[in-house]
Structure 1
Amino acid sequence: MTNMPEKNLYLPEIATIQEVIQETPNIKTFRVILDDEEKMREFTYEPGQVGQLSVFGVGESTFVINSPPTRKEYLQFSVMRVGELTSKLHQLSAGDKIGVRAPLGNYFPYESMKGKNIVFIGGGIGMAPLRTLMLFMLDNRADYGDISLLYGARSPQDMAFQYELPEWLERKDLNTVLTIDNPSEGWEHTVGLIPNVLLEMEPSAENTVAVTCGPPIMIKFTMQALKKLKFEDTQIITTLEKRMKCGVGICGRCNIGDKYVCVDGPVFTAAELGELPNEL
């Protein structure tokens, strides 16, 4: 009897783009389906895991799978245009082929978060990984306590997932606060920097986990705000997938001290980050 060959971690699956959504002037969302129907049916992943998307002949880069595993019609990735690879991705359309290596990395510890209140704090494209976990929790609503979302961006035009915001605002089982940095004509929600608005919201740290993602400077000051609100480092979770390169711990380009973001992360608690060298 021969053993089944192990999956080649370096070999991407061929996938077809089903839909492209223009989220903001520099962010597009890609909904893709693996061409191998059986592999698509059997594809499993956890909230917070990532994938490597490849444009053939150009390269590949890491993006969180921001469709929750409870909704598997497609795999969704949101891409900010910041360089050659992402610019090439932004040129693709429905029907085009890309490569997908996934799932990679660890994931949000949703099992240990059961029975607790959850506060999501997202900035800009940082809403992508939070969306995955938030929708997963809303699809398993009875397992969690109060769920709150603070989502901010520089301007209304910089907010992703705008087509979902009305539903998030209307849900009775989700407390949603939207904010922008400065006043804007027609904006009917909060105005202020995310850490300041968080302090005004004053979420209780008791039996609560805060999950945050966004630009590094936002995460830094958000963590400071959470500590002012008496959150312990073990109650604060973030994700660092943008530091990942090969995704399997070989290239060594994502190491922080003795940790590899792609193997030990990308999800970390503030307590775990506090044990690493100050390289973030």
Structure 2
Amino acid sequence: MTTAPLPYRITATGIETADCVSMEVTPADRPLARFSPGRFAMMYAFGVGEVPISVSAIHGQRLVHTVRAVGAVTRALCRLRVGDFVGLRGPYGTGWQLDVEDRPDILLIAGGIGIAPLRPVVHQVLGRPGAFGSLQVLVGARAPRDLLYTGEFARWRRAGARVEVTVDRPDPGWRGSVGVVTDLLDRCETDWTRATAMVCGPEAMIRHTARALVDRGLPPPRIQTSLERNMRCGVGHCGHCQLGPLLLCRDGPVVGYDRALIPLATRER
């Protein structure tokens, strides 16, 4: 881990949606320490600023980040092209925990761009056939145009994953499910007492999904959530990412629901 950004060259880009771009970056010289799914980098747009971005794919030293243009820094990042440079520092935070001892069923639940930090878990689980039970991926978005990685869903299904997708507001050509992502839980075929769930998306979606999972019998420690706050330093010094007793750049972003329950409920009130 480093506290000074290292230069990374953009080696590939892809438009995911109208406001989301994926970029593959490769170290220009010295690489950062190895990332694991769920951890994040502070990504620096030279002359503009930096923002925390989770990895959405890991290929050795090559990293993929999916960036949504919502502010000055992310808009600057989304305008970059192949051959341009960004600065990265990290890896920071905690990652998704995959325990193979009891071959748990893996349930991934994503809202909107929340599928990005979960995508490396899909790659990891599908890359280790037999190490886990079933893999079920539930994806929700506001509208079909907001769905990420739709070109990969068929490949995930062929590899053995169950992928269910729903949207809040369908367009005239939509033939899939309509509703919130928790509606898809009734389609899951799993032993709720021993599954491992990983949830990422808007905070309200995380709260409702985690409660729905507990209601179905999934113990809170087996529910992992990825929480987001305004991270600035990445090392737990500035306090901008505080959520109750947690500093999410240090104690998160991945936090067990047993630890996140009270801070999330307190913030809601």
- Same fold? TM cut 0.5: yes
Of residues 38, 50, 55, the one that matches 2:40 is 50
Alpha-carbon contact 2:193-2:219 (below 8 Å) kept: no
Partner amino acid, structure 2, of 1:31: E
Q: How does 1:1-280 map to 2 (within 5 A)?
A: 9-36=2-29, 39-40=30-31, 43-68=33-58, 71-72=59-60, 74-111=62-99, 115-171=103-159, 173-201=160-188, 203-276=190-263, 278-279=266-267
Separation in 2 of the partners of 1:123 and 1:31? 23
CA contact (8 A) 1:148 1:175 kept: yes
User: 2:144–2:170: 8 Å Cα contact kept in structure 1?
Assistant: no
SS in 1 for 2:57: coil
The RMSD of aligned alpha carbons is 2.0
Question: Contact 2:105–2:191 (CA<8 Å) still a contact in 1?
Answer: no
| C-alpha displacement of 1:112 | 6.0
User: Counterparts of 1:183 and 1:97 in 2: how far apart (Å)?
Assistant: 38
Q: CA deviation at 1:100?
A: 0.5
- How far does the alpha carbon of each residue in 1:55-103 deviate from its partner, in whole angstroms, 9 at most, with x for none? 11111000111113xx326201111111111111111111111100021
Q: Moved runs in structure 1, 4+ residues, more than 4 A?
A: none
User: 1:50·1:62 contact (CA, 8 Å) conserved in 2?
Assistant: yes
Contact 1:124 1:159 in 2 (8 A): yes
Contact 2:221 2:256 in 1 (8 A): yes
**Secondary structure of 2:157 counterpart:** helix
Identity percentage of aligned residues: 31
Gaps of 5+ in 1: 1-6
The letter of the residue matching 1:239 is S
Q: Give per-residue Cα distances to partners, 1:10-38, cap 9 Å, x unaligned.
A: 210101111111111111111100101xx
Which structure 2 segments of 5+ residues have no match? none
Task: For 1:18, give the aligned amino acid.
Answer: T
Looking at structure 2, the residues matched to 47 and 275 of structure 1 have their Cα atoms a distance apart, in angstroms, of 25
Deviations 1:188-219 (A, max 9, x none): 33222111222354643031011111111211
In structure 2, the CA distance between the partners of 1:91 and 1:25, relative to structure 1 (3 Å rule), is: same
CA offset at residue 178 of structure 1?
Answer: 1.4
Does the CA-based 8 Å contact 1:62-1:241 persist in structure 2? no
**1:3 is matched with which residue?**
none
Contact 1:114/1:143 (CA < 8 Å) preserved in 2? no
Q: Does the CA-based 8 Å contact 1:121-1:151 persist in structure 2?
A: yes
- Give aligned pairs, total: 267
For 2:229 and 2:67, the matched residues in 1 are separated by 11
